[in-house]
Amino acid sequence: MQSSQLLKGTFYTMILKVLSENGRMYGYEIAQKVKSLSGDEIIVNEGSLYPILHKMEEEGMVIAERIDIGNRTRRYYTLTDSGTERVQVKIEEFEQFVQVVRRVLYPAGA
């Protein structure tokens, strides 16, 4: 299922959702989480993960904390209040989208 155009559009929502359920996480952790939740089906491409995280930070959806973990600095991401609100909106958006697609793919009146 890798790298389909379809998936890319949903990364933003997935990352938000994962963060909303797990609290503070760092990049690697988020990638692993998505991977394990999807039963290794979805690999969040890092080329998408980090640009999205940094965009979210700029938008104020998440805040990043720099924590010294001994040999390096690790950036932990946490949802902000507006990020938390956004999760629900994004999920509803996604479901509407799926329903619309469904209607097109399986027309009811056939």
Among residues 12, 14, 17, 27, which is the contact residue for other proteins, using CB under 8 A? Answer: 27
Spatial distance between the Cα atoms of 59 and 94, rounded to a whole number of angstroms: 20
In the complex, minimum distance from the CB of residue 44 to other proteins, in angstroms, rounded to a whole number: 11
Among residues 11, 37, 38, 64, which is the contact residue for other proteins, using CB under 8 A? Answer: 64
Question: Closest Cα partner for 4 from 56, 42, 53, 47?
Answer: 42
Among residues 46, 65, 93, 95, which is the contact residue for other proteins, using CB under 8 A? Answer: 46
Question: Closest Cα partner for 54 from 46, 64, 45?
Answer: 64
CA distances 80 to 7, 83, 87, Å, are: 25, 5, 11
Report whether 84 contacts 63 (CB < 8 A).
no
The reply on whether position 26 binds other proteins by CB under 8 A is yes
Among residues 39, 70, 107, 109, which is the contact residue for other proteins, using CB under 8 A? Answer: 70
Among residues 1, 2, 5, 47, which is the contact residue for other proteins, using CB under 8 A? Answer: 47
Residue with token string 């001994």:
70
- Indicate the residue among 82 and 96 with the shorter CB distance to other proteins: 82
Residue ranges in contact with other proteins by CB under 8 A? 26-28, 31, 45-47, 50-51, 53-55, 57-58, 64, 66, 69-75
